[in-house]
Amino acid sequence: MEPSSSSLIAGVPARSGRPRATSRADLERIGFELFGRQGFDETTVDDIASAAGIARRTFFRYFSSKNDLVWGDFEHQLARLRELLNAAEPSSPVMDALREAVVEFNRYDVTEVPWHRQRMELILTVPTLQADATLRYASWRAIITEFVAKRMGLSPSEVLPRLFGHTLLAAAIAAYEHWLAEDEAQLGDLLDVAIRQVTDGLGKV
């Protein structure tokens, strides 16, 4: 998601001589600008559609809900995480492979960082997003669990692979919470440190 001028939603509907927003990225950008100005709960789908100069039904061609907009193209991101793990060196320790993949998965261009920070602040702090977060986290954990299970010759339903999934998610959330609290902190460094600390507890596998 790229930064954009706040003039896109300067109080005049986009349909008043403004180009209509007709892509996921455009709608995400406008939605996040509105969330920043009005608050997430106070912003409606109608508000976003009006600012974008589109009909309400057009919004739902791109996102199933306002909550869905916050997460962006999450399925694509999950596919990328799988690719990173699949590309890991087979001989590398499990925790090293996980750490490298998670750090790379959370690497963003400097122009995208402010938008990603706003996205994660919403995800981690807005109560009405927590039900969605639980489901998305479960999908993320499942990828970690399946990778570990395959490496260890176990079923994903066994306790050890599940432990890796839950623990890696906890480490990532801890890193993100610190990142949001400290403007100068580097997300990649925080993730690296958090997962290395987990490694000291789980050991090399």
Give the pLDDT confidence of 9-18 residue by residue, as tens digits.
333 344 444 4
> Are both 94 and 82 inside the same structural domain?
yes
Please say which residue of 69, 92, 122 terminates a domain.
69
Which parts of the chain fold into alpha helices (H)? 24-38, 45-52, 56-62, 66-71, 74-86, 94-105, 113-125, 130-152, 159-181, 187-202
> Are both 150 and 181 inside the same structural domain?
yes
pLDDT bucket at 103, cuts 50 / 70 / 90:
very high
Given a cut of 80, whether residue 49 has pLDDT beyond it is yes
Residue 63: CATH number of its domain? 1.10.10.60
Q: For position 191, what pLDDT does the model report? A: 98
**Mean pLDDT across 35-58:** 95
Q: Which distant-in-sequence residues (6+ apart) come within 8 Å of 73 by Cβ? A: 24
In 3D space, the residue among 167, 203, 202, 196 whose CA is nearest the CA of residue 103 turns out to be 196
Please say which residue of 15, 36, 69 terminates a domain.
69
Given a cut of 80, whether residue 20 has pLDDT beyond it is no
Tens digit of pLDDT for each residue in 171-193?
Answer: 999 999 999 999 889 999 999 99
Tens digit of pLDDT for each residue in 126-137?
Answer: 999 999 999 999
**Mean pLDDT across 61-82:** 94
Q: For position 205, what pLDDT does the model report? A: 52
Rg (CA), the chain: 19
Q: For position 37, what pLDDT does the model report? A: 95
Instruction: Give the chain's domain count.
Output: 2
Residue 1 belongs to a domain: no
> Are both 30 and 123 inside the same structural domain?
no
> Are both 63 and 82 inside the same structural domain?
no
Residue 96 belongs to a domain: yes
> Are both 62 and 84 inside the same structural domain?
no
> Are both 92 and 193 inside the same structural domain?
yes
Buried b (16+ CB within 10 A) or exposed e, 70-107: bbbeeeebbeebeebbeebeeeeebbbbbbbbbbebbe
Query: Which residue has better confidence, 79 or 73?
Result: 79
> Are both 20 and 57 inside the same structural domain?
yes
> Are both 193 and 167 inside the same structural domain?
yes
Please say which residue of 38, 69, 100 terminates a domain.
69
Residue 156: CATH number of its domain? 1.10.357.10
Residue 49 belongs to a domain: yes
Cα(106)–Cα(1) distance, rounded to whole angstroms? 14
- Looking from the CA of 121 toward its CB, the CA atoms found within 13 Å total 16
| Tokens of residue 114, six digits | 């402010």
State which residues form the domain around 156.
Answer: 73-202
Mean pLDDT across the chain: 88
Query: Which residue has better confidence, 49 or 12?
Result: 49
> Are both 31 and 120 inside the same structural domain?
no
> Are both 172 and 86 inside the same structural domain?
yes
CA distances from 160 to 48, 104, 163, 164 (A): 44, 24, 5, 6
Q: For position 7, what pLDDT does the model report? A: 31
Given a cut of 80, whether residue 204 has pLDDT beyond it is no
